[in-house]
């Protein structure tokens, strides 16, 4: 949303700004359940688990390494062979039924079996086909989970006991919830302003915001290691269909951006060069090679973007301060 503000600054949009003070919002009562604490403890235990090679039969939860070859009609399929392929039994990352077929295998054992690929399988090349698998088990490993006791707590850092660790987890979870609740309240406040303000949004700005939203989705998808075009095929959507679905959201984002700018102008909210430099230098520290980042980054664009982010933060701070928050 902030990136599009740079475009908005070049497009003057007349606006009849709605009241943005003393807006009523209800703050949620935040609690931390024992289940949430236990879930975090379980994650910590799992992350400290030791991997131990065993001579027994493979079962759910075991890490295994296998060689496999896949054929259809006697011919090996494309990408149908792998050596020392790692796999956690029970995670369901292969064809339905595959992991069940190799359960009970020991290191050195080999099996042949058939599986039929579901009609709706993501790889259209093998949908609804009967495949012939040859699998050799190379390695079976178990995860040794540490006991949940005082010694485990001490191994994680400055925690003298399990009770102290639990208290720290509870406090951390509460901080996360409070941050999310603050963001929710901020969004509710600016949405109420945007919904009640009067303005005409040019179609050009809606289209620009749709382009931003597509880039955001593409960045997220590719960040997960997926091909964007394949992703669109998976969800059975074209770019045009996505943009049609996003029309209302795109206009909402533009209206919010216009209101943020209008409030900042009305309240004479500004950002100093010192504030911009402090934030950009802080952001650059997130790069592994800060000196290299400084050479490759467009500092003018980064400065403009940072200015808008900081200004919006100040506007949100004003909205919160003036809001009538009900518990």
Q: Domain map of the chain by residue range?
A: 2-31+174-326, 50-144
Under DSSP, the state recorded for 117 is: P
CB 263 within 8 A of CB 269: yes
Provide block-wise average pLDDT over 10 residues at a time, the chain (327 residues): 49 88 96 97 94 94 96 92 95 92 96 94 88 96 94 94 97 98 97 96 94 94 91 92 96 96 96 93 75 70 90 96 94
CATH class of 2-31+174-326: mainly alpha
| Rounded Cα gap, residues 6 and 257, in angstroms | 10
CA dist 236 and 219 (Å) reads 19
Q: What's the pLDDT score for residue 297?
A: 76
Residue with the two structure tokens 């939203």: 213
Fill in the DSSP letter of residue 155: H
CATH of domain 50-144: 3.10.50.40
pLDDT digits (tens, 9 = 90+) for 209-264: 999 999 999 999 998 889 999 999 989 999 999 999 999 999 999 999 999 999 99
Q: From the centroid of its chain, how far is CA 64? A: 28
């Amino acid at each position: 949303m902030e990136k599009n503000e740079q475009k908005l600054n070049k497009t003057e949009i007349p606006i009849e700004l709605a009241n943005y003070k003393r807006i009523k919002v209800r703050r949620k009562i935040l609690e931390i359940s024992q289940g949430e604490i236990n879930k975090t403890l379980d994650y910590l235990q799992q992350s400290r688990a030791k991997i131990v090679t065993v001579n027994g039969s493979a079962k759910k939860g075991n890490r295994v390494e296998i060689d496999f070859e896949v054929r259809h009609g006697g011919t090996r399929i494309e990408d149908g062979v792998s050596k020392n392929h790692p796999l956690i039994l029970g995670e369901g990352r292969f064809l339905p039924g595959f992991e069940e077929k190799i359960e009970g295998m020991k290191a050195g054992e080999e099996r042949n079996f058939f599986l039929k690929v579901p009609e709706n399988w993501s790889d259209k090349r093998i949908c609804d086909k009967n495949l012939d698998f040859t699998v050799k088990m190379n390695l079976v490993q178990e995860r040794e989970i540490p006991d949940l006791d005082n010694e485990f707590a001490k191994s994680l850092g400055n925690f003298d006991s399990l009770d102290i660790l639990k208290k720290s987890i509870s406090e951390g979870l509460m901080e996360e919830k409070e941050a999310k609740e603050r963001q929710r309240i901020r969004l509710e406040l600016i949405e109420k302003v945007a919904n009640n303000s009067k303005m005409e949004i040019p179609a050009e700005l809606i289209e620009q915001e749709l382009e931003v939203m597509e880039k955001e989705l593409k960045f997220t998808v590719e960040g997960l290691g997926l091909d964007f075009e394949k992703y669109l095929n998976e969800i059975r959507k074209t770019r045009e269909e996505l943009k049609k679905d996003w029309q209302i959201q795109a206009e909402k984002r533009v209206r919010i951006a216009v209101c943020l700018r209008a409030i900042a102008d009305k309240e004479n909210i500004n950002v100093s060069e010192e504030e911009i430099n402090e934030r950009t230098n802080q952001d650059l520290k997130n790069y592994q090679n800060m000196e290299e980042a400084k050479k490759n980054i467009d500092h003018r664009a980064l400065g403009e973007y940072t200015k808008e982010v900081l200004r919006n933060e100040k506007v949100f701070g004003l909205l919160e301060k003036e809001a009538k928050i009900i518990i």
